[in-house]
Amino acid sequence: MKVNLPVHRGETITGTIADLTYQGNGVLKVAQYPIFVPDTLPGEKVEVRVTKLTQNFAWGMLTQRLTTSPDRVENANQMFLQTGIAPLGHLKYPAQLKFKQKLIQDLLTKAHLDLTVAPTLGMAAPYHYRNKAQVPVRYQRGALQTGFYKRGSHDLVPMEDFYIQDPVIDQTIVTVRNLMRDLKLRAYDETKQTGDVKHLMVRRGYYSHQVMVVIVTRTSKLPHAKELVAGMVDQIPGITSIIHNVNAKNTNVVLGPENHVLWGEPTIHDQLLGIDFTISPLSFYQVNPQQTEKLYQAAIDAAELDGTQTVIDAYCGIGTISLAVAKHAQKVYGVEIVPAAIEDAKLNALHNQIENAEFVVGKAEEQMAKWQAAGLKPDVLIVDPPRKGLDEQLIEAAGKMAPQKIVYVSCNPATLVRDLQRLMEQGYRVTKPIQPVDQFPQTTHVESVTLLERTEID
Ligand SMILES: C[S@@+](CC[C@H](N)C(=O)[O-])C[C@H]1O[C@@H](n2cnc3c(N)ncnc32)[C@H](O)[C@@H]1O
């Protein structure tokens, strides 16, 4: 059914921004009909031109900012807003932390859940925190460039300071770019499917300071590899590993399956909560180590472990949470769908002499049902699912296993709120304020830890 909309395309509207969406766009309301306006903040009086209409919402473009929010960062770098590197870069950091707390609180209120959200745990210096970069290599006006894609496109914006990455990583990218220019290496052309170098990936250990550079090419050919490696070894502080990765596919996935060590080690190391982790090019590893330690510590504190408990870590990745928890528990079981991650988890346990952690490859929802059928009775279940949240089957198995505590580490407040409702139906209730932890300052991502405890006695 077509409804009469209160605005039309091309119309200019003046009003006050009422809210900020989970994507960081301001919301201007006309008779409750929302218009999303990039680069505007709550409280700002603005003039907006309506650019796109749908039945439920519209998009608008800011034509004039009539008043400025006290939370606005003056002279925010437009390049970062344009590329999506820092979509909240125009909002002062204390306001970003409040925005993340409110985002969870609003979703709870919408779901009629009367729960409290604690203030977001932020960073003292919320820039230059990322320990990993993946940057496209392209030609721009005849020169080989590294940078970041413009939001919603594959147009490269050349960049040297990436604002949220470890500065040594930024410097490494510039060094490799300059070497590639000097050696006349060919950048990848996505449209013509020509050229050699597609991407650079750089990782740096926060504690170890070890640097890994991965050069991703379209074919197995990497011209001047010897000279390139010699220059990198000479100029990059902390260089430990240089890898050639081949990705023949033209998709949005950056790394291909094939890795060749050009120089040094196949992996680098870093620590989290005192545990040493081996990181290979394809390993998933948390990108903000300082905040990850806070996130895991919040999960460990919530579980109140005293060394006697059996813990399941579902969606365990390379075992980061499992291994951090192991020294506070009697036994930890981890399950993860990616076989290579479980291999890493087993090796990480071995290298850290952790003998009370066991890892299984599988779907968490299926493995939980198997453990339950085998009579495993965990005291604590920790879940750290991907954005889509928990599978219904996992929630059912959790209800049957009936652990005293469930610690939910979430990267998506919308699925968190849905899953909390489902877990409550299984006899759990939330017993502490939900704790947001800011893993990704300057962006709209929100991570949190929630403690649920069993209320029904079997
Ligand atoms: C948010 S990450 C958490 C990883 C780990 N806890 C960490 O902090 O490094 C989610 C993990 O769930 C895994 N995963 C996705 N679907 C899964 C499933 N159905 N069963 C088990 N693991 C799954 C992903 O491969 C990923 O490693």
Q: Is 315 assigned a ligand-binding role in the annotation? A: yes
338 CA → ligand 1 middle, Å: 8
**pLDDT number for residue 4:** 84
- Taking a C-beta distance cutoff of 8 angstroms, is the pair 299, 449 a contact? yes
**pLDDT number for residue 245:** 97
For the segment 18-32, the average pLDDT, to the nearest whole number, is: 94
**pLDDT number for residue 292:** 96
Asked if domains 132-272 and 288-454 share a fold, the reply is: no
Higher pLDDT, residue 3 or 25: 25
Q: Which fold has domain 132-272?
A: OB fold (Dihydrolipoamide Acetyltransferase, E2P) (2.40.50)
Instruction: Check pLDDT > 80 for residue 145.
Output: yes
Task: Name the residue ranges covered by the structural domains of the chain.
Answer: 12-69, 132-272, 288-454
Q: Which atom of ligand 1 is nearest to the CA of 292?
A: 8
Nearest CA to ligand 1 atom 2: 386
Percent of the chain with pLDDT over 70: 99
For residue 437, give the nearest of 129, 122, 127, 23 by alpha carbon.
Answer: 122
Instruction: Check pLDDT > 80 for residue 82.
Output: no
Burial class (CB in 10 A: 0-12, 13-18, 19+), 188: buried
Q: Is 333 assigned a ligand-binding role in the annotation? A: no
Pocket of ligand 1 (CB under 6 A): 284, 286, 315-317, 320-321, 335-338, 341, 363-365, 384-386, 411
Phi, psi of 134 (to 5 degrees): -130, 110
Specify whether 316 is catalytic: no
Please provide the DSSP assignment of 67-82 as one string: S--TTBPTT--HHHHH
For the segment 171-199, the average pLDDT, to the nearest whole number, is: 96
How many other CB atoms sit within 10 Å of the CB of residue 14? 12
**pLDDT number for residue 2:** 62
- How would residue 139 be classed by pLDDT, with cut points 50, 70 and 90? very high
ipTM (interface predicted TM): 0.98
- How would residue 322 be classed by pLDDT, with cut points 50, 70 and 90? very high
> How many whole angstroms separate alpha carbon 245 and alpha carbon 196?
11
Q: Which atom of ligand 1 is nearest to the CA of 296?
A: 8
Q: Which atom of ligand 1 is nearest to the CA of 338?
A: 25
CATH pick for 12-69 out of 3.30.1490.20, 2.120.10.30, 3.20.20.240, 2.40.50.140: 2.40.50.140
**pLDDT number for residue 207:** 97
- How would residue 232 be classed by pLDDT, with cut points 50, 70 and 90? very high
Instruction: Check pLDDT > 60 for residue 399.
Output: yes
Architecture of the domain made up of 288-454: 3-Layer(aba) Sandwich (3.40)
Q: Is 286 assigned a ligand-binding role in the annotation? A: yes
Mean pLDDT of the residues in the chain:
94
Phi, psi of 339 (to 5 degrees): -55, -40
- How would residue 81 be classed by pLDDT, with cut points 50, 70 and 90? confident
Radius of gyration over every alpha carbon of the chain, rounded to an integer in angstroms:
24
Phi-psi label, residue 23: left if phi above 0, alpha if psi -120 to 50, beta otherwise: alpha
13 DSSP assignment? E
**pLDDT number for residue 325:** 94
Q: How far apart, in Å, do the first and last CA atoms of the chain sit?
A: 51
**pLDDT number for residue 128:** 95
For the segment 5-13, the average pLDDT, to the nearest whole number, is: 93
For the segment 165-188, the average pLDDT, to the nearest whole number, is: 97
